[in-house]
């Protein structure tokens, strides 16, 4: 696998997490600050994840998934086109 393909896949996963997390937070009316407290991560990290500027490690994704009661696949997978499909 080439380095370019890995970078592209990493960028896509980062963007998927950002979009899915923003939608989940909005739908559940949870702030980034509240999520940071729930996960034990800093507000800066949560903000960077939501803006697609930071690729979280598995541990961070697991904490977010647990706090928001969604699967890790739901966070990292392709965002659904219909907002109502985000639980």
**Between 16 and 87, the higher pLDDT residue:** 16
DSSP string, 26-73: HHHT--HHHHHHHHT--HHHHHHHHTT-----HHHHHHHHHHHT--HH
DSSP helix/strand/coil, 79: coil
pLDDT for position 8? 61
Tokens of 39: 């996960």
Model confidence, pTM: 0.84
Average pLDDT of the chain is: 88
Over residues 36-60, the mean pLDDT reads 97
Give the model's confidence band at 10: pLDDT under 50 very low, under 70 low, under 90 confident, else very high.
Answer: confident
Query: Is the pLDDT at 49 greater than 60, yes or no?
Result: yes
Close Cβ partners of 85 (under 8 Å, ≥ 6 residues apart):
none
pLDDT of 80: 82
Supply the CATH classification number for the domain 3-76: 1.10.260.40
Q: Cα separation of 28 and 85, whole Å?
A: 13
């Amino acid at each position: 696998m080439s380095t370019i393909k890995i970078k592209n896949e990493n960028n896509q996963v980062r963007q998927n997490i950002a979009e899915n997390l923003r939608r989940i937070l909005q739908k559940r009316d949870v702030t980034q600050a509240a999520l940071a407290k729930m996960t034990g991560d800093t507000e800066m990290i949560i903000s960077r994840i939501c803006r697609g500027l930071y690729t979280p490690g598995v541990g961070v994704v697991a904490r977010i998934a647990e706090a928001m009661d969604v699967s890790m696949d739901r966070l990292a997978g392709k965002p659904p086109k219909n907002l109502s499909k985000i639980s």
